[in-house]
């Protein structure tokens, strides 16, 4: 089977490159050329294949715009004194013993408000990592907690773009899906709190809370006005203003604070937004330097190249021959087992959450008999698995702009526990007919729509 050979070749090259430490971008370019060659072999012209790739790139245009906003926003928050001020205040609440758990909870709360793992990690995540660095805490552990928290809202916030995408491709309602996702994710979330609480208490770090006030006060005005950009994020998110408009409003507020409170020259602002903030005080530079649109360039290129795959896959039908295998797995186990295995494959190959969700839906649309059940399966697999794939855009982007080590992925407990918990429920339901009618099932967010066998008999 030519299609299987092509996918296997790409997977092996990608794996070998990662093991050898090769840059991700050339590996993805190889994949793009490989899949384009398949399109030519199928009889499509070079122009048609180029159009397919362009259609995939167009589908992530909004994500690339978001990267630009995040780069500019993180730089402006640094220059405005927003991150230094919140870091000072947050440091009075945390210690090395509770930093990991608080990092998870704070990032989770922000991601639920804004519906974006990138936005949550770029704001609260950066602040938590700054504190962790100053405390000499285990940054890999804290980074894992941030990564996990960022995907709480990315998965089940009503404002999440991925939740909206899943609702669209499964023809379901966002708020109905969110209600069910919150219930199915409650146990994994609680387990994460236990894991991070225990890990934080047993990890190493400075025995004393760091005091940033003196160091930061020499370079920034730390008055209450500097937190206006973050207040705008919270207020506008509660008012259900779109993520991009919310971030633009926060960016404008931060620039005004830069000029009128921190006395940054207007002429300096473009360089700060593009190249990032660079503090002249070397004593605190390590903690506050960073951000900028340029810092997002690598991840933007990775997303751009990876996004071309979806257009080629969709129009050449490269993956369609795998549907029979997917359906066979579902018949011999459970629909979620099939969706989970497919998600792992698509997340590994597609390198992007959006692409993985769309491909998994295309391959698994016949496994569940109801769109709501498929939506729940997708959110509990393809929506979170990319955050533990080192070459996934959803993972590498957050790792890059938060400044966490790649080993933080090993501490991203949520994105492992959610699929495993759903798998356990799926297997239990498969062996206990009528479970979906019970009160326990309702508490877990399940109902009759999740019993594929019953729906099959009814059909």
Q: Kindly list the domain boundaries of the chain, sorted by start residue.
A: 2-61+299-452, 63-296
Most confident of 35-44, 229-238, 275-284: 35-44
Q: What is the pLDDT of residues 87-134, one digit of tens each?
A: 777 777 777 788 999 999 989 987 887 677 887 887 788 888 888 887
The alpha carbon of residue 122 and the mean position of all alpha carbons in its chain are separated, in whole angstroms, by 11
Q: Is the pLDDT of residue 45 over 60?
A: yes
For residues 113 and 269, the model is more confident at 269
- Out of 11-15, 112-116, 137-141, pick the least confident: 112-116
Q: Would you place residue 355 in the very low, low, confident or very high pLDDT band (cuts 50, 70, 90)?
A: confident
H/E element, 311 = helix 297-316
Q: Which secondary-structure segment (H or E) carries 202?
A: helix 186-202
Arithmetic mean of pLDDT, 220-246 = 84
- How far is residue 431 from each of residues 4, 101, 171, 300, 453, measured CA to CA in Å? 33, 36, 29, 45, 11
Report the percent of the chain where pLDDT is more than 90. 29
Residues 6 or more apart whose CB falls under 8 angstroms from that of 384 comprise 151, 155, 414, 415, 418, 419
Beta-ladder partners of 277: 290
The predicted structure's pLDDT at residue 42: 92
pLDDT of residue 452: 52
Output the DSSP codes for 54-120: HHHHHHTHHHHHHHHHHHHHHHHHHHTTHHHHHHHHHHTT--TTTHHHHHHHHHHHHHHHH--HHHH
Residue 61 has pLDDT above 70, yes or no: yes
Least confident of 239-253, 265-279, 319-333: 319-333
Average confidence (pLDDT) over 379-394? 89
pLDDT-derived band at 457 (thresholds 50, 70, 90) equals very low
Instruction: Compute the distance between CA of residue 78 and CA of residue 88 in angstroms, rounded to an integer.
Output: 13
Give the residue with greater pLDDT, 215 vs 140. 140
Instruction: Give the pLDDT band of residue 172 (cuts 50, 70, 90).
Output: confident
Q: What is the pLDDT of residue 209?
A: 62
The pLDDT of residue 372 is above 60: yes
Q: Is the pLDDT of residue 455 over 50?
A: no
Q: Which residue has the higher pLDDT, 458 or 416?
A: 416
> Residue 249 burial by CB count (10 A; 0-12/13-18/19+): exposed, middle or buried?
middle
Position 212 confidence tier, pLDDT thresholds 50, 70, 90: low
Reported as a single tens digit per residue, the pLDDT across 412-424 is: 999 999 999 999 9
Q: What is the mean pLDDT of residues 59-88?
A: 82
Share of residues in the chain with pLDDT > 70 (%)? 93
Mean pLDDT of the chain: 84
pLDDT of residue 391: 78
Which DSSP symbol is given to 280? S
For tokens 């810092």, what's the residue? 295
**327 compared with 339, residue with greater pLDDT:** 339
* Residue-wise pLDDT tens digits, 183-199: 999 999 999 999 999 99
Residue 165: enclosing H or E segment and its boundaries?
Answer: helix 161-170
pLDDT of residue 211: 63
Residue 177 CB neighbour total at 10 angstroms: 24
Give the predicted TM-score (pTM) of the model.
0.72
> Alpha helix (H) ranges present in 322-413?
323-332, 335-350, 353-364, 371-379, 393-402
What would the mean pLDDT of 282-286 be, rounded to a whole number?
76
Confidence of residue 451 (pLDDT cuts 50, 70, 90): low
Predicted pLDDT of residue 208: 58
Q: State the pLDDT at residue 164.
A: 78
**Average pLDDT estimate for 367-396:** 86
pLDDT of residue 206: 57
* Predicted local confidence at residue 192, as pLDDT: 96
Q: Examine the pLDDT at 140 and tell me if it is beyond 70.
A: yes
């Amino acid at each position: 089977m030519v299609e299987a050979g092509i996918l296997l070749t790409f997977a092996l090259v990608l794996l070998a490159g990662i093991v050898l430490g090769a840059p991700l971008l050339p590996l993805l370019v190889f994949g793009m050329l490989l899949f384009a060659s398949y399109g030519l072999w199928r009889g499509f012209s070079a122009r048609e294949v180029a159009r397919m790739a362009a259609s995939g790139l167009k589908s992530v245009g909004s994500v690339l715009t978001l990267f630009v906003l995040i780069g500019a926003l993180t730089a402006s928050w640094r220059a405005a004194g927003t991150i230094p001020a919140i870091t000072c205040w947050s440091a009075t609440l945390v210690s090395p013993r509770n930093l990991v758990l608080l990092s998870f909870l704070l990032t989770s709360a922000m991601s639920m408000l804004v519906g974006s793992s990138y936005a949550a990690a770029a704001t609260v995540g950066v602040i938590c990592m700054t504190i962790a660095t100053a405390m000499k805490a285990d940054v890999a552990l804290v980074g894992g907690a941030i990564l996990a928290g960022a995907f709480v809202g990315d998965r089940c916030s009503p404002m999440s773009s991925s939740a909206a995408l899943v609702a669209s491709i499964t023809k379901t309602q966002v708020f109905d899906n969110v209600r069910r996702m919150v219930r199915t994710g409650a146990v994994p979330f609680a387990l994460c709190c236990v894991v991070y609480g225990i890990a934080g208490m047993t990890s190493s770090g400075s025995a004393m809370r760091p005091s940033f006030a003196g160091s930061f006060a020499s370079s920034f005005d730390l008055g209450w006005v500097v937190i206006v950009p973050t207040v705008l994020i919270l207020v506008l998110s509660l008012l259900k203003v779109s993520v991009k408009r919310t971030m633009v409003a926060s960016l404008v507020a931060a620039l005004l604070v830069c000029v009128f409170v921190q006395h940054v020259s207007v002429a300096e602002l473009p360089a700060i937004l593009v190249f990032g903030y660079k503090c002249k005080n070397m004593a605190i530079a390590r903690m506050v330097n960073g951000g900028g649109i340029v810092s997002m360039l690598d991840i933007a290129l990775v997303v751009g190249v990876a996004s071309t795959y979806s257009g080629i896959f969709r129009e050449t039908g490269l993956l369609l021959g795998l549907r029979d295998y997917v359906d066979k797995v579902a018949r011999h186990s459970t629909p979620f087992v099939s969706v989970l295995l497919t998600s792992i494959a698509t997340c590994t190959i597609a390198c992007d959450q959006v692409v993985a969700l769309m491909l998994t839906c295309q391959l698994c649309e016949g496994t569940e008999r109801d769109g709501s059940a498929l939506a729940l399966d997708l959110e509990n697999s393809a929506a979170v698995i990319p955050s533990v794939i080192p070459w996934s855009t959803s993972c590498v982007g957050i790792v890059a702009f938060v400044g966490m080590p790649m080993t933080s992925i090993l501490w991203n407990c949520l994105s492992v526990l959610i699929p495993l918990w759903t798998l356990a429920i799926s297997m239990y339901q498969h062996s206990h007919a009528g479970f979906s009618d019970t009160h326990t099932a309702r508490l877990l967010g399940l109902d009759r729509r999740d019993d594929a066998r019953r729906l099959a008999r009814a059909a």
